[in-house]
Amino acid sequence: MNEKTINEQYAYIRTLLEEKRLKEALMQLESLLWQCPDWDLRTRLEQLQTSYKYMLEYMKQGANDPERWNLYQKMVSDTWGIADQSRLLILDNASSRYYHEVRRTPKSPDLSNYGLKTILHILESFNDDLAVSGLLSDEKMDEVLKRHEDTLKFMFIRTWTNSAWTPEDEEDAKAMLASELLPGDDLCLFVSALTLSLMECFDLRKIMWLLDAYEHPNVNVSQRALVGAMIIFHIYRSRLTFYPELIKRVDLMEEIPSFREDVARIYRQMLLCQETEKIDKKMREEIIPEMLKNVSSMKNMRFGFEESDEENNDMNPDWEDAFEKSGLGDKLREMNELQLEGADVYMSTFAALKNYPFFREVHNWFYPFSKQQSNVLKAMKQAGNQGGSLLDLILQSGFFSNSDKYSLFFTIHQLPQSQQDMMLSQLNEQQVAELAEKSNVETMKKFNERPGTVSNQYLHDLYRFFKLSVRKSEFRDIFKEKLDLHHVPALDNILHWEDVLFPIADFYLSKERWDEAIEIYEELETIGGFEGESAEYYQKFGYALQKRKKYAEAIQAYLKADTLKPDNIWNNRHLAICYRLNRNYQVAITYYKKVEEAAPEDTNVTFHIGSCLAELGQYEEALNYFFKLDFIENNCIKAWRGIGWCSFISQKHEQAMKYYEKIIEQKPLAIDYMNAGHVAWVMGDIQKASVFYGKAITASGNRERFLEMFHKDEEALLTQGIREEDIPLMLDLL
């Protein structure tokens, strides 16, 4: 079997288990196990099949068993576990991925007995060994550093590729968590190895250990463990309900004062990471044509307006304070003051600096930046170890993620001293200013140890690994996926609350992720989250719906906002827009006139009232508004366009021609040439009409586009006295 076939067969078993079709899943698993050499797994499967057979038989006989459902859940989870192990064992012989390459490679005899307990003893002695070696020789120090880093690599790979912990493994891991001598950075690496291991294969013992690790006093360990647990909950969301003890454990953790706040913050930070690509693109491409202006020029062009014009960049300014309060402003700036809303603005800067040999090893992507790392220590000794340098301050700061600090350090220390100084002097002025403000080491340390700073940095490290590592294709990139953690069984009790969901919805709104915003606003409305809230939330809900062109639904949201806060100018304007775009021009005029009362000189309102009146066939009234617009705004082409068309329909042909000629002298569109042609033809000047029509064809780009526009106006031409039989002749003249 090849890798694809194995994964497809496993995926089918997983689907059956998710749908609670246990009998079929057991049959499919039996088939899969014929490819697996592990007899222990076959024995476990046979025991499961027998137990399930008896359970069904007892049920058939009408036996009442209050524990039946709990036993069933246990059977499903056990079946899933056997399927997991079977898949990995078969893939070990079929997959070219590094994970399986390591698993199938025999361990050397001298390392085969190295368990977590032995690894812990070696790592615990590191600081003492390093201190002693520093008194002896550089060679001795190099030896200590090499032993430490070799042990870390072995620990990482052993932990990552160990798909199922034994009770002994679990106890040894708990000893690592309890150790007072184990360096915190080493424990952080262990947490990351465990997270990657869980991404490969579900293991309840490991997840429980991560939850234990959240309560570790070292903030780097605790935040890294919580990020890992949340990623694992996301990956195995459909499976968690079969482990009631896990759900209960997470529920109990709500008693920890900081837990709920930490989970909600990390959720927001994970969503911010998904914005990195967009931010990166925006930084590289500063001038982007407005996307919403790519509307067909056919629609409403006779008045020279596009549906999206009035909608662009028109979020309610009253919301700004709310965005800040929701955690998208101040809270995120507190986490990392040099990052835009807490987002990753340095990705493009460091993407090209991940080619050092250091990053070829998977575990190095996850080791916290440390001056005791051998490459760093050697370089600093050669440079005289000037701890107070600007570079040193940068490396101590919370400005960059750990892997970015390694990139920066290796890049700078490759250069001669003079070039190092020059490079540092060219840092962004704002960065230097921030550094100067935080030059106090204690202040810097406190900032670094904030849970928000730590979790944000770690998420950026994970993001870089999934996007930039040479082995990125071998890992599941969770940042590409929909992250709706408030629906995950283990997290829904924590996240499915108004005070968490409103900031998330506002975040989506601020990032123009309309569908996600709508989804959460709908959930909030369903659970009664809008009750007792201000009109602002209905305005935001309506705005997201409007941007997705769901105008009827947007109107309902805006009307609810109007009930709570009557006669709000912004709300009335958007009601008018939605009614107009929904082609309910009469009601649109009602709301536009309410806005007009408050802002009589608003040119957009004046124009759209005129255009709605024209759509209703009230051309004389429409002309009054277009003339008013022409008076308020000098050289207003869209006013001239409205005057030209309404004058033409009202048979004021000379006036119509006057304004179309004014437009043609300025910036004419294809529709302007065509309308001028209509006027000339109705006035009897066929030669002039054919010239204008010819220019309209040229401006349209092709004859078919022109004909599409022309045929829409045939009824207006017939009303003005043009004979139907003359129309094809005129078109053949062109």
Given a cut of 60, is residue 265 above it in pLDDT?
yes
At residue 712, what is the residue type? Answer: K
User: What pLDDT score does 341 carry?
Assistant: 60
Give the SS3 label for residue 511. Answer: coil
Residues 216 and 350 reside in one and the same domain: yes
Tens digits of residue pLDDT in 505-539: 999 999 999 999 999 999 999 888 787 777 899 99
Residues 55 and 191 reside in one and the same domain: no
User: What pLDDT score does 227 carry?
Assistant: 98
Given a cut of 50, is residue 299 above it in pLDDT?
no
Residue 686 lies in a domain: no
User: What pLDDT score does 445 carry?
Assistant: 72
| Least confident residue range of 144-148, 301-305, 517-521, 719-723 | 301-305
Residues 339 and 458 reside in one and the same domain: yes
- Domain endpoint, select from 59, 78, 95: 95
Pairwise CA distance, residues 511 & 677, whole Å: 45
Are 279 and 463 spatial neighbours (Cβ–Cβ below 8 Å)? no
pLDDT bucket at 384, cuts 50 / 70 / 90: low
Mean pLDDT of all residues in the chain?
Answer: 87
Q: What percent of the chain has pLDDT over 90?
A: 68
Tell me which of 278 and 193 has the higher pLDDT: 193
User: What pLDDT score does 300 carry?
Assistant: 45
Number of domains in the chain: 2
Residues 80 and 191 reside in one and the same domain: no
Average pLDDT of span 437-451: 71
Residues 275 and 371 reside in one and the same domain: yes
User: What pLDDT score does 391 carry?
Assistant: 66
User: What pLDDT score does 647 carry?
Assistant: 94
Structural domain range at position 462: 171-287+306-496
User: What pLDDT score does 709 carry?
Assistant: 93
Residue 334 lies in a domain: yes
Residues 271 and 377 reside in one and the same domain: yes
Average pLDDT of span 234-240: 96
Residues 90 and 185 reside in one and the same domain: no
Half-sphere exposure of 443 (CA within 13 A, CB side): 8
Tens digits of residue pLDDT in 473-495: 999 999 999 999 999 999 999 99
- Domain endpoint, select from 496, 518, 546: 496
Residues 338 and 203 reside in one and the same domain: yes
Residue 355 lies in a domain: yes
Given a cut of 80, is residue 382 above it in pLDDT?
no
| Least confident residue range of 237-246, 286-295, 632-641 | 286-295
Q: Which residue bears the tokens 């719906």?
A: 545
- Domain endpoint, select from 476, 496, 516: 496
Tens digits of residue pLDDT in 120-129: 999 999 988 8
At residue 172, what is the residue type? Answer: D
User: What pLDDT score does 330 carry?
Assistant: 44
Given a cut of 50, is residue 288 above it in pLDDT?
no
Residue 523 tokens, joined: 């959930």
Are 75 and 48 spatial neighbours (Cβ–Cβ below 8 Å)? yes
User: What pLDDT score does 413 carry?
Assistant: 79
Pairwise CA distance, residues 13 & 476, whole Å: 20
Tell me which of 704 and 349 has the higher pLDDT: 704
Given a cut of 90, is residue 371 above it in pLDDT?
no
Residue 685 lies in a domain: no
Tell me which of 257 and 395 has the higher pLDDT: 257
Helix and strand tally (H, E) in the chain? 41, 0
Q: Which residue bears the tokens 């437009």?
A: 663
Residue 562 tokens, joined: 């109007």
Tell me which of 22 and 431 has the higher pLDDT: 22
Residue 13 lies in a domain: yes
Q: What percent of the chain has pLDDT over 70?
A: 86
Residue 588 lies in a domain: no
Given a cut of 70, is residue 303 above it in pLDDT?
no
Torsion angle, CA of 574/578/581/583, rounded to 10 degrees? -130
Residues 54 and 180 reside in one and the same domain: no
Average pLDDT of span 393-401: 75
The pTM of this model reads 0.84
Tens digits of residue pLDDT in 332-354: 443 344 354 667 877 877 888 89
Average pLDDT of span 74-82: 96
